[in-house]
Amino acid sequence: MSSSESSGRGLAYGVFLVICGCFLAWQAWLIEPSGMTNPRDIGPKAFPLALGAALAAAGVWFCLMSVRADMSRSPDGAVEPTSPVKPDVLSPVARALRPALVIVGLVVLTLAMPIVGFSIATFVFATLMLLLMGDRSPLSCVITAVALVAIVQLLFVRVFQVVLPTGPLGL
């Protein structure tokens, strides 16, 4: 596949995500709140609206990356690398085991959550899964896992007021 085909696919995928995100947000906007909610309740449309906005934002990002790839192409059609792509150094057997390891990780996460709490269990799970996927340095994996736990805590505990399991450390 030529690089122009791949950037064209990225643009098409981005446009598709923008359309899906806008459609989802529009459909969420049409949801009527039930009469049993209080005025402070965010209502049933908040999550689909946020999901639609996230899909549309991801689509815009894909479109921008596709345009950026087209602009980095030299006049003779060769693509100048904008970031190095690491080859996958895992063996085919190890690559085949990744889905099974993710499933095992999810089971362990579910079993560990009541014992150590949501934050610690999710941090360990996210860090190990990011390391398993092999795209980042260990420090980057830890920082990403901390950010993930912080965002989920903020969103679910503070905004949606969902009680998440806490462990012995109160996390």
Dump pLDDT digits (tens) for 114-150.
999 999 999 999 999 998 887 678 999 999 999 999 9
Q: State which H helix or E strand residue 132 sits in.
A: helix 118-133
Cα separation, 51 vs 165, whole angstroms: 24
Q: Which residue has the higher pLDDT, 100 or 6?
A: 100
Residue 164 has which token pair? 């998440």
Domain ranges for the chain, please list them.
Answer: 3-71, 92-159
Cβ atoms 121, 112 nearer than 8 A: yes
- The pLDDT score that the predictor gives to residue 171 is 72
One-letter amino acid identity for 127? T
| Rounded Cα–Cα distance for residues 76 and 79 (Å) | 9
CA distance 5 to 104: 37
- pLDDT bucket at 85, cuts 50 / 70 / 90: very low
Predicted TM-score of the model (pTM) = 0.56
Which SS3 state, helix, strand or coil, does residue 92 take? helix
User: Which of 2-6, 25-29, 163-167 is the least confident region?
Assistant: 2-6
